[in-house]
Amino acid sequence: MKICVCVKHVPDTAATIKLAGDNGFEDSEIKFVSNPYDDYGVEEAVSLCEKDGGEVVIVTVGKTAAVATIRSAMAMGAHRAILVKTDSQFLDSDLTAKALKAAMEQDGLPDMIFTGKGSVDTESFQTQYRLAKFLSMPVVNEVSTLTIDGSKAIAERETGGGEKQVIEMSLPCVIGATKGLNEPRYPKFPDIMKAKKKEINEIELLDLGIDASNGKVVIEKLEAVPERSGANMLEGSVDAQMTELVRILKEDEKVL
């Protein structure tokens, strides 16, 4: 079985982001990591191939620096990787899905595709659906339990409020992984060293016939979240505090 896992190179959620211009940010000195939800996809793919045999291919769309994230996925057990290179910080989900599709078709379509349920940077939650549409494959997102039975996949997904849904699909299909599907492994030192020698096929985005300037979504302006003002501590009896609170909401904040 051949399994592709889409992995995104994203800023660490603990990083301090500094804006650069109207629609970009300084990325030369902040820490980048593998998108956390993608790690569940890598773990599931590697575990399936360890059990039944096969090959795990990491597919990433991003800058050259994304090689570090790809090596981390390889250290978890992926066999090789494809990096579609672009200088764009914000490649929209439509172009990203088209790039992933083109790279996979060029390499030979897989039996399964894993993604994370979404990326922690842009949080568009659309790439897996667009990719599945372009490849005419069934897709299910937020999968917390997965069983492969011959030529079909049985996925259990979260629907909110503690409810779950079970979906049966034929292979090939696209699976959006989420927390609970597994526990991603921590690579050991020998695995990290082996990962440095594994193959990464680097492809330019334009070589796939995709122009990064033709995206459907354009970021006009980025703004930093304003600093929160200090808390206003109310004093006096409960009645006095409630009266003052209502006055503040009406007169100062104008929300009532």
Summarised one tens digit per residue, pLDDT across range 21-57 is 888 888 888 899 999 999 999 999 999 999 999 999 9
Which pLDDT value is given to residue 115?
97
State the angle between helix axes of 67-75 and 36-52 in degrees (0 to 180), rounded to the nearest 10.
40
Write out pLDDT tens, residues 165-208: 999 999 999 999 999 999 999 999 999 999 999 999 999 999 99
Cα dist from 237 to 59, 233, 240, 244, 249, whole Å: 62, 13, 5, 11, 18
Which pLDDT value is given to residue 220?
82
Regarding predicted confidence, which is higher, 224 or 139?
139
Cα dist from 131 to 54, 93, 173, whole Å: 22, 9, 10
Strand partners, 61: 84
Which pLDDT value is given to residue 158?
82
Ordered by start, the domain boundaries in the chain are 2-214, 231-256
Q: Strand 139-149 and strand 152-160: pairing?
A: antiparallel
- CA atoms of 146 and 114, how far apart (whole Å): 11
Which pLDDT value is given to residue 112?
97
- Going by pLDDT thresholds of 50, 70 and 90, the confidence category of residue 82 is very high
Q: Strand 163-170 and strand 152-160: pairing?
A: antiparallel
Which pLDDT value is given to residue 49?
96
> Is the pLDDT confidence value at 224 over 90?
no
The CATH code of the domain at 2-214 is: 3.40.50.620
Give percent of the chain above pLDDT 90: 72
> Is the pLDDT confidence value at 227 over 80?
no
- Going by pLDDT thresholds of 50, 70 and 90, the confidence category of residue 256 is confident
Contact between 204 and 65 under an 8 Å Cβ cutoff? The reply is no
- CA atoms of 66 and 233, how far apart (whole Å): 47
Look over the chain and give the mean of its residue pLDDT values, rounded to a whole number.
Answer: 92
Which pLDDT value is given to residue 13?
86
Give percent of the chain above pLDDT 70: 100
Which pLDDT value is given to residue 110?
97
Write out pLDDT tens, residues 90-127: 889 999 999 999 999 999 999 999 999 999 988 888 99
Return the SS3 of 237.
coil
Which pLDDT value is given to residue 93?
92
